Amino acid sequence: MSTHHQELQILLVEDDLADAEMTLDALRDANLVNEVHWVKDGAEALDFLFGRAAFAGKPLPSLKLVLLDLHLPRVDGLDVLRQVRANERTRRLPVVILTSSRQESDLRQGYDLGANSYLVKPVESEAFFMAVRDLGLYWMLLNRTPGETS
Amino acid sequence: MNLACVKPKGETTRMTGWPQVIAPHIRRLLELLAIALALTVGLWVNLLAAQPLGTPATQAADAKPAPLVLTEAEQVWLQEHPVIRVAQDTSWAPVEFADALGEPSGMSADYLKLVEQRLGVKFQQVRELSWFEVMGGLQLREIDMTTSVAATQGNSTFLAFTRPYMQLPIVIFTQMNVSYVADLQMLRGKKVAVGEGYSVSDWIARDHPEIQLINVRNTEEGIARLEGGEVFAYIDNMLVVNYFISLRGDVNARVAGSTPYVNAQSMAVRKDWPVFAGILQKALDSISERERAEIYGKWLPLRTKYRFKSKRVWQGLAMFVVAILGLAAWVRLLYQSIRRRRLAEAVLRESEARYARAVRGSSDGLWEWGVLTNENYLSPLWKDLLGFAPDELTDHSDSFFSRTHPDDVARVQAALKAHLEQQLPYRIELRLRTKSGDYRWFLVRGEAERDEQGRAILMAGAIIDIDERKHMDEQLSAAQAETTRLLEMAEDSREALLSVVEDQQEAEQALRQLNETLERRVAERTADLAAANQELEAFSYSVSHDLRAPLRAIDGFSRKVIERSGARLDDEGRRQLQVVRDGAQRMGRLIDDLLAFSRMGRMEMTLQPVDMAAMARAVAAELRAAEPERAIEFAFSPMPTIQGDAAMLRQLWVNLLGNAIKFSRGRDPARIEVGGRVEGLQALYWVRDNGAGFDMQYAEKLFGVFQRLHRQEEFEGTGVGLAIAQRILHRHGGQIRAQGRLDGGATFSFALPLAGTNQPTSERTAS
C-alpha cells in the first residue's frame, strides 16, 4: 500500500481472467496494485470513466493510466479509446493498449486514435510479468501529464 | 430526339433564309439533304436507343368483372366490424409505399381505394410501419389486413388470402459488370440481399440453403449494398426495383437473371377473419380490366433516358455530321456561284433587249435573206461578231450555212422550214465558226416578210453572241449533275455508315459476349481468391488473438505454481511443470512463425535495388552478436546487387544465416561462407556451413512447413524458417536448393532473376 497514491489511479480493462490476474500480480510486485480498478468490458470501462450507470453519482476518478485490452465484450477497446479521446476531460489521459493482437491494422488504428503506447502481451510469462511491471512503474512514477502537481 | 420530329416530306422545314430567286432544283436538293440528315440522325438515335424498361408482368387473368353482390351474412359482418385496420408496406414502390407526405401510395393502394369504393367502407390506415412490423402486427392481430402479400408457408399460418390479383416476376439484380446469372444455383455461397420478411426471402431460404442471405429493410438498402459490393446480388421484384432505378437513375445495377419465383400478390387478412377475405375477393373480382390497366399504366416505371454507350458510335455520328455540314457548305458555295451567273444572265438579257431595240433602230447585226432571190445582206456587226471585218466576208448565205456547226445544220434547216411553212417563230441557238476557227454560240432570230399568198419573200433578223451564257448553262448543268452525284454519294455513304454501324454493333456484341465470359471467369476466380484470402486473414487474426491467450495462462500459472508452491513439490514435479511451460512457450513460437509464414505470402512487395552483400554482412553481424561466446568465422565473397523487396530479402538472410549458425553449433570454429555470382539472367547466392548437415534423402522435406530433420533437443526450432525462405524466393520469381551430407555441412543456394527480368509473383493462397 503506497501512501502517495490514495485514489484509484489505474484503470485495467481486461476480460480475460488469467491475463487480469497476471497483470495484477505484476502491478502488485511494483506496489501499484491498490490503486487499480479492474473492469471486464468496454461498456463498464466507459461507465467508470464517465460516471454512468453503476458509477452514476460517484466522484469521477482522477486517473493516471488506462491499461486497455482491445478485444472486449460489448464495447470494443478501440471504441473505448475513441470515446476517451473525444471527451474534453479525458482526452489527455495516458492509455496503453495491452493486447494479444499484433495485427498491423490494430496497431495502426490504435495509434491513429491516440494510444500512448501499444504492448503485445508476450506468451512467455516472465516477459509478460516484466513488461507489465515496468510499464506500471514508468507511467505511474516517471511519466508526467499536464495539470499534475509534482 | 424522336423520329416523330421528322415531318412528312411535303412539310419539310422551309429554308427561309434562302432567297426565293434560288432555282427550284437547288431548293429541292437542299430539301433532300435536310430530309437525309434528319432521317439519318433519327435512325441513328433509334438504333442506339436503350431498350425500354421491362414490360409489365401480366395481370391476373379474369376477363370480365363480376358484379359485387354480398350475402346477407357478409353485410352483417361488415356492419359488425366498423373498424378494420389496414397497414401497407411503406417502401415497396411502386407496388405500395408511403409518398412524400406519408400517404399510402402505389398500385395496391389504388386497388384498396377501389375496394373501399365498392364496399362503401373506409378502412383505418396504420402507417409508418416497416414491412417486418406490418407482418408482426398481423400476427398479433393488431392489424387486420394488408394489401399486397404473397402467400408462403410461413405467413399462411396467420393470414387468410384472396386470390392473387397481381403477378410480379422476381429477378436477380447484380452490378453492371456481371453479365448473366443463369439460375439461383450460380449464387451458391455468395452473399445475396433480400427484403427482410418478404416472401422471396422464405422461398430462397427453403429452396437454396446454399445461398448466404443478407436481410435488408427495403429496395434502397438492397441496391445500396449491391452497389457497395457488400452483396453479390439483390433479389427482388423486377417492377419494384426498376421503378426505384428509374427514379434515382444512374444506378450500378442491372437485371442479370431470372428466378422461378413470382410475387403473386394477394390481399390478406388475419386468419380468424375468413369471411372478410371472401368479401375482399368479391370486391377485387368487381374491378374491371380497364381499371386494372389504368392502375398499371399509372405506376409503370418511367422510361430511362437513352444512353449512348459506345464512344465509337459518337465518333461515327460526329464524322457524319461533319460530312453533311461539308456538303451543305459546298452546296452553298455552288449556289452562290450560280447566283452570280444568274445575275450575269440577267444583265445579258437586259443587253439583249437593248440590242433588240438597237437592231430595230439600226442595221447592226442584221441579216437579210432573199428567200426567192437568194440575195443576202450581212451587216458589219454581224461580221464583226464572227471576228471578220466587213469586207472579209461576202454577203452570201454560205457565209452563214458554211460556218454553222455541222451538228446544228439540220436543226437550222428544220427551224427555217418550220418558220417558212408553218409560221412558227424562228429563234434558234446555234454554233458559228468564227474567223479564228472556234465555234461560238449565237442566238439567231428572224422573221419572214410574206406576200399576199403568205409566201415568204424575205427573211430578216439578227444574231446575238450568247457563247458566254451558253457555257454558263453548261457549267450549271454540270454542277447540277455533280450535285445529284454528291447527293447520291451522301445517300450511299449514309447507307454504308448504317451498315457499318450494324456490323460494328454485331462485332461489338460478339466481343462483348467474349469479354463478358472472360470477365465473369476472372471475376469468379478473383472472388474465390479474395474470399480465400479473406478467410485466411480472418483465420490468422483469430489465431494471433485467441490461441495466444490460453498459452499465456498455461505458462503464467505454471510459473506461479513453481514460485509459490515450488518448495512443496519434489524435483520431478518441478521438472514436469517446466515441461508444461516449455510446451506452452514453444507453441507460442510456432504460432508466431506460422503467422509470419502466412503473412509473407500476402505481404505487398516494394521493389528496389538491394545490395545483397551489405545486407548479408549486417545480418550476420547481428546474429553473431546474439551468441558472443561462440567462435564463428564468416567468409564473404562479392555478390551481385538485385532488385527486390528489402524487408523480405532481409528476412531471407536472417533465416539462412541463422540456420547456418544454429546447425554449426558444436563446431569450433564454425565456418560460414557466403557468396554469389551472376549466371546468365540470374543472380546466384549461397550460404555454406560446416555444421550438422542433413541426409540428401530428405532434402525435399526441408522446405515444408513444420518439417524438421533434427530432434528438438538437438536443434530447437519450429520448422518454418526454410518454408518462409522459399516463399520469399517464390514471390521474387526465384528458387532455392539445398545440398548437404549428414555431419558434413550444408549449402543453401538460391537464384533470383536479375533486374528488369523479375516479375514479383503473388502467392496468395495458403500452401
* Chain B residues in contact with A18 (beta carbon < 8 A): 549-550, 552-553, 556-557
Nearest to A63 by CA among A1, A119, A121, A145: A145
Q: What is the DSSP string of A96-107?
A: EEEES---HHHH
Look at A18 and B552 and tell me if their CB atoms are within 8 Å. Answer: yes
Would you say residue B57 has pLDDT above 50? no
Whether residues A121 and B552 touch (CB distance < 8 A) is answered with yes
- Please name the residue ranges forming H helices in B603-732: 612-626, 646-663, 721-731
User: What is the per-residue pLDDT for A78?
Assistant: 93
Distance from CA of A133 to the nearest CA of B (A): 14
Q: Are B215 and B201 within 8 A, CB to CB?
A: yes
Q: Identify which has the larger pLDDT, B167 or A85.
A: A85
Least Cα separation, residue B622 to chain A (angstroms): 22
Q: Is the pTM of this model over 0.90?
A: no
Average pLDDT over residues B353-372: 67
Interface contacts A/B by beta carbons within 8 Å: 55
Task: Please tell me the distance from the alpha carbon of residue B104 to that of residue B531, in angstroms, as a whole number.
Answer: 42
pLDDT tier, A149 (very low <50, low <70, confident <90, very high otherwise): low
Mean pLDDT of B450-461: 83
Stretch B604-628: mean pLDDT, rounded? 91
Cα A33 from Cα B420, distance rounded (Å) = 146
Strand-pairing partners, residue B233, are B192
pLDDT tens for residues B279-316?
999 888 888 888 888 887 787 654 443 444 456 566 66
- Residues of chain B neighbouring A16 (CB-CB closer than 8 A): 549, 553
In A, minimum Cα distance to B582 occurs at: A124
| pLDDT tens sequence across B17-26 | 444 445 555 6
Do residue B549 and residue A100 have CB atoms under 8 angstroms apart?
yes
Percent of chain B at pLDDT > 90 equals 14
Looking at every residue in chain B, the average pLDDT score rounds to: 80
H/E run at residue B259: strand B254-270
Arithmetic mean of pLDDT, A72-92: 90
| CA B385 centroid distance within chain | 75
A90 vs B504: which has the higher pLDDT: A90
Per-residue model confidence (pLDDT) at position A114: 93
Q: What is the pLDDT of residues B527-558, one digit of tens each?
A: 888 777 777 777 776 766 777 888 888 888 88
pLDDT band at B151 (very low <50, low <70, confident <90, very high): confident
Residue B38, pLDDT score: 54
Establish if B545 touches chain A: CB-CB under 8 angstroms.
Answer: yes
Mean pLDDT of B318-332: 76
Residue B8 has pLDDT above 80, yes or no: no
Is any Cβ of chain B less than 8 angstroms from the Cβ of A100? yes
pLDDT confidence tier of residue B651, bands split at 50, 70 and 90: very high
- H-type helices in B456-466, by residue range? none
From the list A22, A71, A129, which residue is nearest B545 (CB)? Answer: A71
Highest mean pLDDT among B165-179, B354-368, B627-641: B627-641
Instruction: Tell me the nearest-neighbour CA distance from B604 into chain A, angstroms.
Output: 13
Residue B470 cell numbers, joined: 451558253
Determine contact: B549 vs chain A, CB below 8 A: yes
Lowest pLDDT segment from A49-58, A110-119, B399-408: A49-58
Instruction: Report the C-alpha gap between B197 and B215 in whole angstroms.
Output: 8
**Which chain B residues have a beta carbon less than 8 Å from that of A71?**
545
CB contact under 8 A, B544 and A124: no
| pLDDT over 70 (residue B265) | yes
- When pLDDT is averaged across residues A45-73 and rounded to a whole number, the result is 86
CA B659/CA B709 separation, integer angstroms: 13
User: Which pLDDT score is estimated for B467?
Assistant: 86
CA distances from B260 to A6, B153, B155, B235, B748 (A): 73, 17, 20, 12, 62
> Does any CB of chain A come closer than 8 Å to the CB of residue B548?
yes
* Contact flag B549-A128 (C-beta cutoff 8 Å): no
Residue B743 CB neighbour total at 10 angstroms: 11
Give CA separation, A92 vs A47, A65, A89, A115, in Å.
18, 10, 8, 10
Report yes or no: B551 at the A interface, CB cutoff 8 Å: yes
Nearest to A125 among B548, B550, B555 (CB): B555
Q: How close B198 gets to chain A, by Cα (Å)?
A: 31
The Cα of A111 is separated from the nearest Cα of chain B by a number of Å equal to: 19
Nearest CB among A100, A126, A129 relative to B545 is that of A100
* Higher per-residue confidence, B749 vs B424: B749
CA distance A80 to chain B (A): 19
Q: What was the pLDDT predicted at B672? A: 94
Count the Cβ atoms, other than its own, within 10 Å of residue B376: 17
CA distances from B42 to A25, B39, B46, B170, B493 (A): 86, 5, 6, 35, 16
* Structure-model confidence comparison of residues A96 and B317, the more confident one: A96
The pLDDT of residue B758 = 44
Determine the distance in angstroms separating the CA of B731 from the nearest CA of chain A, rounded to an integer. 21
ipTM: 0.74
With an 8 Å Cβ cutoff, are B545 and A18 in contact? no
Mutation site, B555, B577, B598, B604, interface A, largest A CB count within 10 A: B555
Most confident of B226-230, B255-259, B495-499: B226-230
Nearest residue, CB atoms, A103 vs list B544, B551, B584: B544
Cis peptide before B94 (omega within 30 of 0): yes
Q: List A residues 70-89 in contact with B (Cβ-Cβ < 8 A).
A: 71
CB contact under 8 A, B552 and A25: no
Note the pLDDT of residue B529: 81
Taking an 8 Å cut-off on Cβ atoms, the answer to whether B549 and A103 are in contact is no
Which site among A125, A132, A133 would you substitute to test the B interface, given the most B Cβ atoms closer than 10 Å to its Cβ? A125
User: When comparing pLDDT for B18 and B386, which is higher?
Assistant: B386
- Mean per-residue pLDDT of chain A: 86
> Which chain B residues contact residue A123 at CB under 8 A?
548, 551-552, 555, 584-585, 587-588
Residue A101 touches chain B, beta carbons under 8 Å: yes
pLDDT of res. B128: 79
Q: How far is CA B180 from CA B177, B241, B255, in A?
A: 9, 17, 8
Mean pLDDT, residues B143-153:
87
Identify the closest residue of chain B to A22 by CA–CA distance.
B556
Q: What is the mean pLDDT of residues B28-44?
A: 54
* B564 and A CB contact within 8 Å: no
Query: Grid coordinates standing for A150?
Result: 509534482
B548–A121 C-beta distance less than 8 A = yes
pLDDT of B35 higher than 70: no
User: For residue A129, which residues of chain B lie inside 8 Å, CB to CB?
Assistant: 556
Chain B residue closest in CA terms to A14? B549
Query: Which chain A residues are closer than 8 Å to B539 by Cβ?
Result: none
- Position of cell 493482437? A101
Q: Output the pLDDT for position B288.
A: 85
Mutate to test the interface with A, among B543, B545, B598 (most CBs of A within 10 A): B545
What number of helices (H) and strands (E) belong to chain B?
Answer: 19, 24
The CA distance from B691 to B687, in Å, is 12
- Is the pLDDT at B674 greater than 50? The verdict is yes
> Count of H helices and E strands in chain A?
5, 5
Q: Out of A22, A123, A126, whose CB is closest to B548?
A: A123
Q: What is the pLDDT of residue B358?
A: 58
Residue count (chain A): 150
The C-alpha of A125 sits at a distance from chain B's nearest C-alpha, in angstroms, of: 5
Q: Does A47 touch chain B if contact means CB atoms closer than 8 Å? A: no
B750 vs B576: CA distance, rounded Å? 43
A16 close contact with B: CB closer than 8 A: yes
Q: What is the pLDDT of residues B79-131, one digit of tens each?
A: 888 889 999 888 777 888 888 777 888 888 888 888 888 888 888 888 878 88
pLDDT tens per residue across span B696-741: 888 888 888 777 777 777 787 888 889 999 999 999 999 999 999 8
